[in-house]
Structure 1
Amino acid sequence: MPQWLPGWIDTPPQPDDAVLAISNGVILKPGDDWLMPWSAARSAVAQGQEPVYVGRWGERAVYVCGLEPDQLAGAVQSITLRDALIFGEDVPAELLGLAHQVQQWWLDHRFCGRCGTPTTIHPRERARRCDPCSLSWYPRLSPCVIVMIRRGERMLLARSSRVKRNFFSLIAGFVEAGESLEEAVQREVLEETGLKVTNIRYYDSQPWPFPSQLMLGFFADYAGGELVLQEDEIAEADWFLPDELPPVPPETTIAGRLIEAMQQEIRG
């Protein structure tokens, strides 16, 4: 897989530069490649869209842009970004995730949120700027904790009431202003399950572009309480032995990796 190099330039694409076509979280995939040359894409740019630089993929400069599929020559496959990241094989996850976030940032900050003036592009950084207010807006990044809880030889798994896919995952939530990561873990677990946890320890992180999260993975041990679910967040939850798990997310996700690591830990 080519080397991925994020960065920023404020120049428009050249004919041989590459475009990743994303509209409302749906990727238009031409054939076996995720990218198409700008020369083939520029006549299909959707209304209200424009190409935005993402970085370099191997030797190619990559831009993201919403395109009209019926204006493209040749067949394209439509695939949601979520399905690509969760179920796809040999997927450039960092490129796809960052491109989606860059596109949303570009569209969401065309005007100053304080005075309404159209924003300009920072010449050296990935930022949109309001010159009258001296304010800059960078692509949003929201820290989010996700935690694998162990109770003896069992692990807590929960099924979201908001996600249609029928698998069990982990307790997760956004970090609030003024919280440490450990405090966010304790609060989210208590709010969503009624449980208390201790021995909170960091495991790994993963960018996750839904909407613009940095997922911070933790392990924790059960410290007390009975399951009382927050129904608007959790449809069901239970304690599972490592060899008797329900369907869970794949290891392309941090949830899947946390589950697999805890399975190995319990098995010894």
Structure 2
Amino acid sequence: MLKPLGLLDKKVLVPRGAGQAKSFSQLVEKYGGISIEIPLIAFRPIEFTQQLQNAINQIDTYDWIIFTSNVTVETFFSFYKKAEPKSFPKIAVIGKKTEEVLQERGFKTEFVPSAYVTEVFTDEFLSLVRSGSKVLIPKGNLAREYISTALSNHGVLVDEIVIYETYMPEESTEKLAKIIAQDELDILMFTSPSTVNHFMSVVKKYQLESHIDRCVISCIGPVTERKIRAFGLPVHVSPTEYTVKEMIISTINFLAK
């Protein structure tokens, strides 16, 4: 049975920016934890390119558009402000949260995979899309090419367009280094490989490896887990459902044991 205050007085790293950290922190605090918000990842739109302009002008020629995250949705529509659901391609997404963001904009999602991970999305989506179909994938600069490669190998015409870049906020570096050095973190929660990379860049820069040995490490998804292990760190919690809520619940269960 889940303890109501299973994170009591535990200081938990919330690696998201102000706009995304609220619901994460509320869950941590709901279970008695202390959320330490330090954005390890931030996003900024790229400059408007001719390739993006062409895709927007020809949006009705695509059979599908794939959104892999909330950030992708928000950034795409910041460029494409006049989108109408009736003139839009069919939409596929990887996760429920992304689907909800689209619903708020009046757009219906045609496909959501059974598990919110790239490999499962690709395997299940391939059965829906025909060879010769045209698919648009807006993405970040660090996104994997797994989906586009698999679709192209299936005979699908894929346009991948980078619309935002991922970076480590400058103000987070010193703040994170100070908190780690003072042993102010009990639980590290990572939501993507980029958050791991940025966290470890600070650890290595300030030689703080010994200060994270005591921490419980949780993450979302197999790709993030592999990235953590690549740095020689243990992964104590990696839930089968790739959501922040499940990561927190699984961490509570781990601590109870």
- TM bracket, shorter-chain basis: under 0.3
Normalised by the size of structure 1, how large is the TM-score?
Answer: 0.25
- Structure number with larger C-alpha Rg: 1
- Of Structure 1 and Structure 2, which has the larger fraction of its residues in helix? 2
